């Protein structure tokens, strides 16, 4: 006598698999989101530091016989030629900041806000202002410190 059994997935087995996948998704997905946020923050810090170093090196090289500075806005960093930032200058080089990162605070020479600018002195490479630039995401925050010698560090 041959018994015929129907093979397949029962409703209970299907519900258990869906519940396990749901729990794994709830645990793992927020971690991926935080990892991405942290990576965007690190990338933004690198972009800001790179722009500061580029402005300083262009100044020290006396590129076009000029000084260069950096203007900070919440969503971008702009390298400008000269000692005064002008938004309409064709020589400006803009680096946009990837969301969810923003420049949340700029404190240069005691003046605090969401934007600000500074330039480097031609012969010494020292900045005209010292201070901090805070880069933040919803979960993380880092502070770039610009010293009187023109060196930069991240906390």
- Spatial CB neighbours of 83, under 8 Å, sequence gap ≥ 6: 67, 69, 119, 128
**What's 64's DSSP letter?**
G
Q: Is this structure's pTM higher than 0.85? A: no
Q: For the chain, list the domains and their CATH numbers.
A: 11-154 (3.55.40.10)
Q: Across all residues in the chain, what is the average pLDDT?
A: 91
pLDDT band, very low/low/confident/very high, at 9 (cuts 50, 70, 90): confident
CB contact burial 36-73 (16+ within 10 A = b; e otherwise): ebeebbeebbebbbebbeebbebbbeeeeeebbbbbbb
Going by pLDDT thresholds of 50, 70 and 90, the confidence category of residue 2 is low
Q: What is the pLDDT of residues 38-88, one digit of tens each?
A: 999 999 999 999 999 999 999 999 998 999 999 999 999 999 999 999 999
């Amino acid at each position: 006598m041959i018994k015929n059994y129907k093979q397949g997935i029962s409703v209970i087995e299907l519900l258990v698999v869906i519940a396990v996948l749901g729990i794994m998704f709830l645990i793992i997905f927020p971690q991926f989101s935080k990892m991405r946020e942290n990576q965007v923050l690190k990338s933004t810090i690198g972009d800001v530091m790179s722009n500061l170093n580029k402005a300083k090196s262009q100044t020290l090289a006396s590129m076009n016989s000029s000084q260069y500075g950096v203007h900070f806005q919440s969503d971008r960093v702009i390298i400008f030629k000269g000692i005064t930032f002008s938004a309409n200058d064709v020589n400006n080089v803009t680096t946009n900041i990837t969301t969810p990162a923003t420049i949340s605070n700029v404190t240069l020479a005691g003046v605090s806000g969401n934007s600000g600018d500074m330039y480097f002195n031609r012969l010494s490479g020292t900045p005209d202002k010292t201070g901090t630039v805070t880069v933040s995401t919803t979960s993380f925050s880092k502070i770039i410190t610009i010293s009187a010698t023109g060196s930069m560090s991240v906390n």
